[in-house]
Amino acid sequence: MMIYRKVVEFETRGENDFINITDTIEGIIRESGITNGIVNIFVPGSTAAVTTFEYEPGLKTDIAQALARIAPDDIEYEHHKRWGDDNGRSHVKAAIVGPSLTIPIENGRLLCGTWQQIVFLELDTRPRRRRLIVTVMGE
Ligand code: ZN
């Protein structure tokens, strides 16, 4: 069994910047030389998330709106009182979507559905510099 880890860094434009990272992940898998196993993608940070969906403009808006119904912009968050922060909703959305994702790899390919892309969700209220930890495990 081999383990290959890579840290990817990039800038985001702030809230609801949803970035298709599928090509980046496929590139890391190729570079790893691992053809059968799994890849784990983890975002260290409590106001961003990773998930999969069909990456098209309609769904990007639908997902942003669905998350805004769960954690609206215009309600009170205890987090703001505690830290003088303005991103209570970002923390709530990130906790619900989750910080990591694991996908099986077979014969060098991700076993994703045809319309299933890997997407990084920036949920914070301001642009951020982000790191993603990508771990490929297998043989
Ligand atoms: Zn905060």
Enumerate domains of the chain plus CATH numbers. Answer: 2-138 (2.60.120.460)
pLDDT > 90? residue 127: yes
Query: Could you give the 3-state DSSP secondary structure of residue 104?
Result: strand
What is the distance in A from the centroid of ligand 1 to the CA of 87?
5
pTM score, whole prediction: 0.96
Q: Residue 41: which of 30, 56, 26 has the closest Cα?
A: 26
Rounded CA-CA distance 42/109 in Å is 19
What is the distance in A from the centroid of ligand 1 to the CA of 84?
8
What is the distance in A from the centroid of ligand 1 to the CA of 3?
33
What is the distance in A from the centroid of ligand 1 to the CA of 120?
19
Segment 9-49, tens digit of pLDDT: 999 999 999 999 999 999 999 999 999 999 999 999 999 99
Question: Contact, 118 vs 52, CB < 8 A?
Answer: yes
